[in-house]
Each structure stands twice: as C-alpha cells, then as structure tokens.
Amino acid sequence: MTKDQKKFYITTPIYYVNDKPHIGTAYTTIAADVLARLHRQLGEEVFFLTGTDEHGAKIAAAAETAGKKPQEFVDEISAKFSLAWDQLGIAPDKFIRTTDQEHISAVEKFLNQLKDSGKIYEGEYQGLYCVGHEAFIKESELVNGVCPDHKTKPQLLKEQNWFFKLSEYQSFLQEQITNRDFDIQPEARKNEVLSFIKQGLEDIAISRPNVKWGIPLPWDKNQTVYVWVEALFNYCSAIGYGQDDENFKKFWPADVQLMGKDIIKFHCVIWPALLTAIGEKIPKKVFAHGFFTVAGEKMSKSLGNVIDPNDWVAGYGADAVRYFLLREVPFGQDGDVSEDKLKVRFNGDLANGLGNLFSRTTNMIEKYLDGQIDNFYKSPKDLSEASEALYNLDFAHGLVKIWEEVAWANQLIDKAKPWELYKTDPGKVKELLLNLAALLLDIALKLSPVMPETANKIRSTLEGGDIKKAKPLFLKI
C-alpha cells in the first residue's frame, strides 16, 4: 500500500451460530459487500470481514439438544453461513470464527492487556436468577414476586465475576460521539445511544464462572470471558492483533461497522470503552440498519415466517436479491419484505426495466449496425449522484438514480423511433445506439457493486465485439 492509497476496513457483526442464516443477517452482509466492492473500485485497499460467533452457554445447550459435540455443531452451522454468503455473491476478505486458534490467542492477549490497564477488578454479583431465562432478571421486572414469563420465583444468587470499569468512560464517549470522531448513523440511533449514556453507565461483568464453552481468563481458569466481550474483539483479532502487527496497524481502526439496530449499545458503548482501555483507537463509524417485517408480520421462528436467503437466490438469483433488499427499504429504516414484493421488483425494475433496455439496445445494434461498435462514446448522462449515494450508504437513493436513467433511455428510444429513422438517416441511428451503449456501460460500472454478475454480462456483451441480440438478463417470473 502506497502512502496515499486509502485503506477501508469494513465489518459486519459475527453471527451467532445457534441458527442458520436468514434474510436479516444476509441484509447486513450484502450491504457490507457492496461497500467493499465500491471502495475497491475506487482504488482503496479494502478489508471486508464477516464471520461467526461460536461460544457461549446457549450454543453449548443447542449442541447438546442436537446430540452433538459443540465443535462439531458449530462447524456445521458456520459452514452454512459461509455457503449462503457465497451464493449471494458476497466475497469477504476473511471469514472469522471465534473458535479459530488465532482469535483465541488474540483474545487472551487482549484480556491480559485489559488486566494490566487496571480497568478491571474482581467482584461479586448478586442478583435474582430466573431458571427459565437462564439469566438474571431485575427486581423491577417481577410481577407479584415471580417472573412474568415463567411464573416461577427467581433464586437469589451470588456469583464471582471480573468487572470492567465502564462507568469511567461516560464523558469520554459522549464527547467522541457528539463531535463525530465516533460517528453513529443514522442520527436517530446516535440520539438513542447518547440518551442511554446520559442515564449513567454501570460497570459490567466481563466473565462468567459456569460457562464451559468459551475462552478461559488467562489468570483465572475458572471463569470464561463473557461472549459479547469476546465476540467484539473479533474485529481486531481478524486483522492480526497480537500476531501480525503490521497488518493490524494498516487496517485498524475500522472505517465502517455495520449492524442491526439491536446491538448498537454493545458496539457504541462497551466496545469503544474496551478499546480505549487497552490504548487502541475506536472505530470511525457505526451504521445501524433497521429490521424487516415479513409481509407485515414480525419475523420470528414461532410464526415460521423466517426467510432463508438461499430460497430467494434459487428462484431469482443473487443479484436480484441484493438489488431488492437494498432498493426496497431505505438503509437505516425498518421495512417490510416479502416474496410478492421481490417479484414485483424483479419483473418491473429488472426484467422490464434494465433487462428489456439491454435487449432492445443490443438487438438494434445487431440489426442496424451489423453488431459493430467502432467507437465508444462518453455516457450521455451523469451518474455520479448514484455513486455518491452508494458511497454514503444511501443505497435505495443510488439505485433510484440509476433507474431514472433506464427510464430516460427508454423515452429517448421511443422519441427517436430508430425503426423509422433507419430508413431515412442511418447516421443518426448509429449515434443514438452508440449513446445507448455508452449509457449502459456507465450503468454497469455504477451498478457493479450491487449487481456484479449483471454488470459483467452487460460489459462483456458490449465490449466483446460483434454484438448480437443478448439473452435476457432476467427472465420474468
């Protein structure tokens, strides 16, 4: 990397392997892939990280239910994620697993650093433990002295834990967030985090005594590190923390961390505080996207409406799923998706829109120009606003801009009537078609981060010489 070459480090959360991938995890990962491709296109040195989170009591329990050893169990599920991303055309630079030895070593190093920082201490946690929840619940949550969900009386339990002095970072975090050194987007999420911090931060337990499936504290083997703390550190261990210092220095801090809105508190409060404690820089930007409902209903296993992205990919192709999710819902807002909506976009925007424009253009080039393009024009429309929108994570807006030009091109053809003009002024038809080819090439370029396969088809057809009427890009369903 030369001195003036920018680097771009983008991450998704690592996904918890107690279930297979669904449309929500796919959404985050697609968005990250689009940004990675875009920044790579701009000549930056990009590192795109995703992976799986494989430790914790819940995983151990899920493995037991499945009658498997934890490692065997997580190997299987992790592979499903990896495969799903592959089928969606997602190409991370690294797929980290928290059971990787290098991650475990890095976390151990990190924990030692944290201990040396003096920001952790041993303490006793006393609380009400609900067996049904497998977790502590607050006294304020009880109804008539029993857990409202399980109707059981919680036990008073004492636990030895190691604590992190999160409370010391309140004003530091407020400052970093407010002055945008630590940029939380969208604005609404930033306000949420700020008001949460304002209520006061309490020290947090970073270890658990009774969880076997996890990384032991280096100085206290009876305790394993709390899964969240361990999981967050993947962003550092993946790029060589404690092992490949050169690479770590090159990419850290992360430029953008993408995630769903549910986990911003971990990423915007605990994570930057932990990093600061060990003397590392904090990420530049966190962007939290919204949640999907499916055909108007909340997505849940109990309703059985969880969408497997592979099903959609099988029916519509990776590019179409990528396009649909990013086009349908403004990034950062909640939205509703369904196969019906996907179908409308597929048939309307993709098949009738871009696909048909490509067909009629290549057909006319074959018919009126004998398949020959002898010089390449500059695109007649400026698509920089689309690229800029994608760059700013405003994916829906960027795609709208591109499709405005598809509509413009269709209008241009209908106005020019090349099928008549050909008889009287073939020179003008040629000019029209060269302009259309140039526009399509520009669209392919700007669209390629979102729809890499489609962009390649357009480019290879138009730049391949001896152009024939192209096969449909999208066959209507």
Partner RNA sequence: CGCGGGGUAGAGAAAUGGCAUCUCGCAAGGCUCAUAACCUUGAGAUUGUGGGUUCGAGUCCCACCCCCGCAACCA
Binding residue positions for Zn(2+): 130, 147, 150
Select 217 or 337, whichever has its Cβ closest to RNA. Answer: 337
Q: What is the DSSP string of 95-135?
A: EEETTSHHHHHHHHHHHHHHHHTT-EEEEEEEEEEETTTTE
Measure CA of the first residue to CA of the last residue in the chain; give whole Å.
Answer: 46
b/e map 42-57, b = 16+ CB within 10 Å: eebebbbbbbbbbbbb
Q: Exposed, middle or buried: residue 1 (CB in 10 Å: 0-12, 13-18, 19+)? A: exposed
Q: Which is nearer to RNA, 157 or 344 (CB)?
A: 344
Helices and strands: H and E segment counts in the chain: 20, 16
Q: Which helix (H) or strand (E) is 76 found in, with range?
A: helix 70-87
Secondary structure of residue 166 in the 3-state scheme: helix
- Position 53: which residue type? D
* Structure-token pair, residue 8: 């771009």
CB closer to RNA, 166 vs 357: 357
CB-nearer residue toward RNA: 123 or 348: 348
Comparison of 197 and 206: residue with beta carbon closer to RNA? 197
Smallest gap from Cβ 258 to RNA, in A, equals 8
The minimum distance between CB 219 and RNA, in angstroms, equals 30
Minimum distance between the CB of residue 240 and RNA, rounded to whole angstroms?
A: 25
Q: How far is CA 158 from CA 127, 162, 220, 326, in A?
A: 7, 13, 18, 47
Task: Give the span between the Cα atoms of 214 and 206, in whole angstroms.
Answer: 12
The least CB distance from residue 405 to RNA, in Å, is 11
Shortest distance (Å) from residue 172 CB to RNA: 21
Alpha-carbon torsion angle 334, 339, 342, 347, nearest 10: -160
Q: Per-residue DSSP letters for 315-349?
A: HH-HHHHHHHHHHHS-TTS-EEE-HHHHHHHIIII
One-letter amino acid for residue 398 of the chain? G
Contact between 55 and 26 under an 8 Å Cβ cutoff? The reply is no
Comparison of 292 and 323: residue with beta carbon closer to RNA: 292
Least distance in angstroms from the C-beta of 116 to RNA:
31
The pair of three-digit structure tokens given for residue 353, joined into one six-digit string: 């829109």
Report the residue number, 115 or 360, with the smaller CB distance to RNA.
Answer: 360
What is the closest distance, in whole angstroms, from the C-beta atom of residue 59 to RNA in the complex? Answer: 9
Strand bridging mode 292-294 / 335-337: parallel
Look up residue 21 and give its amino acid: P
Q: Which residues are annotated as a binding site?
A: 130, 147, 150
Least distance in angstroms from the C-beta of 23 to RNA:
7
Nearer to RNA, 328 or 442 (CB): 328
